[in-house]
Amino acid sequence: LAGAQQLKSALEAGTDPTQVRILSAPCMGRCDTAPVAEVGHHHVDNADAAKIVDVIEAKHFHPDIPDYLAYDAYVADGGYGLLKQCLAGDYTWEDIQKVLADANLKGLGGAGFPTHMKWKFVRQEPKPRYLAINGDEGEPGTFKDRIYLESDPHRFIEGALISAWAVEAEAAYIYLRDEYPAAREILKAEIAKVEAAGLAPAGGIHLRRGAGAYICGEESAMIESLEGKPGMPRHRPPFVAQVGLFNRPTLVNNIETVFWIRTLMDKGADWFSSQGRNGSQGLRSFSVSGRVKNPGVKLAPAGITMQELMDEYCGGMLDGQTFKGYLPGGASGGILPAGMADIPLDFGTLQPYGCFIGSAAVVVLSDQDNMRDVVVNLLKFFEDESCGQCTPCRVGTEKMVKLLQRPDWDQALMAELGQAMCDASICGLGQAASNPITTVFKYFDADLIATDLSASAKS
């Protein structure tokens, strides 16, 4: 949407290919500042050719570390007090679990499974047990976890250590996507301080880098990758709470999920659960990008509508652009038209419309966006990211892209293919890959599709 392909073409025309390699890249978790380029491990936000050339000439290849709340400042503000109380026996794990249950805290990586239930399931399995934190924030449009890690890392670390304490985990593993080098450097430095302070055993927190695979956002694929194997989803059952990391019971939580634990204990379950709108409870971190004036991570009430989110938190649409539609849950969450901007955004509210909120990655489209190009781009992403393990996903995504690239869309054939992928794929990638095309057929009328096809043919 922000012109990444045009930027790549400009760079190719203005640089020496024997000296500089220019490669297309998947989402880097900085959709609010697109287009983005990565030179070495240095990200260039709102990039243009001149900015990138300046970085190359300056040999500025290391990540910029943003200002963040470091260990001393966090402790001065009461940080790790809750963890110390847990370790001292002032709280039982059931005490913490009850607060999470009363607050209705759910997994905020996409599935929305109740956090307190995960704790219970893992606790009832035999030792040894492990904790695995899923920081593979690979859903296009999502960047909330990065923002929290780069601003308040110890709130996350304390929540992770409390989670490990609650399930009596032998060790904690943090799986962080490779596209987050600044967050990785911050965590390395701050985890060392936590261990030096005696709040965690030396070597008890393992920070692991992902290798850029979208599929590793799926919990069992992440565990396969942690074990040094190709990141491919496992058949279930058994579930990872029973047979997870190193074939042991494993609690898998998202970064934002454990980030909330200290806040919920400080402010109480009633404070959190009273924040929602339209019958929902709690707060959600919406990663908003696209055609709005003020994109970014917006902490807003669960159940807020798309129109309210844009008007109250994002400053409305960009000048001169008309709201056309939106992706409520990233690449896999489907696409809804502007006329359906009054649906509450929360777990379970979007399923009747063929969509879901997932990790709350909201992408706003305008009249300047070609729906055909949007759908083709999304399906190409799924084609590239399919791990290839199961035929419905591996072949289905490839076939769907070919069908979309034809001048005339065979809606019946694509609907049949999409249903087969949904029914027979092993994991959520293949099951949800056809959501963009299915919802476009359902909600964007034939005249609009024909107009977009005509525009694409002329471009």
- For 411-433, the pLDDT digits (tens) are 899 999 999 999 999 999 999 99
How far apart are alpha carbons 407 and 426 in whole angstroms? 31
The residues, any chain, with a CB within 8 Å of residue 252's CB and separated by 6 or more, are: 118, 132, 133, 134, 219, 222, 223, 240, 241, 244
How far apart are alpha carbons 134 and 174 in whole angstroms? 7
- For 90-139, the pLDDT digits (tens) are 999 999 999 999 999 999 988 899 999 999 999 999 999 999 999 999 89
Q: Kindly state whether residues 287 and 194 are assigned to the same domain.
A: no
Q: Kindly state whether residues 265 and 294 are assigned to the same domain.
A: no
- For 348-394, the pLDDT digits (tens) are 999 999 999 999 999 999 999 999 889 999 999 999 999 999 999 99
Range of the domain at 248: 71-269
The residues, any chain, with a CB within 8 Å of residue 377's CB and separated by 6 or more, are: none
237 cis-preceded (ω within 30 degrees of 0): yes
> How large is the C-alpha radius of gyration of the chain?
22
Q: Kindly state whether residues 376 and 360 are assigned to the same domain.
A: no
Q: Kindly state whether residues 180 and 306 are assigned to the same domain.
A: no
Q: Kindly state whether residues 356 and 243 are assigned to the same domain.
A: no
DSSP, residue by residue, 108-138: TTTT--BHHHHHHHHHTSPSPEEEEEEE---
What pLDDT sits at residue 449? 60
What pLDDT sits at residue 340? 98
The CA angle 351-427-4, to the nearest 5 degrees, is: 80
Kindly tell me if the per-residue pLDDT of 443 is higher than 50.
yes
Dihedral angle sign, alpha carbons of residues 43, 45, 49, 51: negative
What are 448's two structure tokens? 């609009």
What pTM value is reported for the model?
A: 0.94
Q: Kindly state whether residues 168 and 257 are assigned to the same domain.
A: yes
What pLDDT sits at residue 334? 96
Instruction: Report yes or no on 223 lying in a domain.
Output: yes
Tell me the mean pLDDT in the region 208-231: 93
Burial class (CB within 10 angstroms; exposed 0-12, middle 13-18, buried 19+) of 299: exposed
Instruction: Report yes or no on 274 lying in a domain.
Output: no
pLDDT band at 446 (very low <50, low <70, confident <90, very high): low
What pLDDT sits at residue 8? 87
Q: Map residue 94 onto helix, strand or coil.
A: helix
Q: What share of the chain has pLDDT > 90, as a percent?
A: 83
Question: Poorest-confidence range of 76-85, 158-167, 209-218, 239-248?
Answer: 209-218
Instruction: Report yes or no on 42 lying in a domain.
Output: yes
- For 77-89, the pLDDT digits (tens) are 999 999 999 999 9
Half-sphere exposure of 22 (CA within 13 A, CB side): 21
Q: What share of the chain has pLDDT > 70, as a percent?
A: 97
- For 235-275, the pLDDT digits (tens) are 999 999 999 999 999 999 999 999 999 999 999 999 999 99
Please report, for the domain that includes residue 346, its CATH number: 3.10.20.600
Last-in-domain residue among 231, 246, 269: 269
Please report, for the domain that includes residue 403, its CATH number: 1.20.1440.230
Last-in-domain residue among 316, 331, 366: 366
Q: Kindly state whether residues 334 and 256 are assigned to the same domain.
A: no
Count of domains observed in the chain: 4
What integer best gives the mean pLDDT of the chain? 93
Please report, for the domain that includes residue 200, its CATH number: 3.40.50.11540
The residues, any chain, with a CB within 8 Å of residue 84's CB and separated by 6 or more, are: 199
Q: Kindly state whether residues 123 and 188 are assigned to the same domain.
A: yes
Q: Kindly state whether residues 41 and 78 are assigned to the same domain.
A: no
Q: Kindly state whether residues 257 and 285 are assigned to the same domain.
A: no
Last-in-domain residue among 214, 242, 269: 269
pLDDT band at 447 (very low <50, low <70, confident <90, very high): very low
How far apart are alpha carbons 114 and 164 in whole angstroms? 17
How far apart are alpha carbons 29 and 34 in whole angstroms? 10
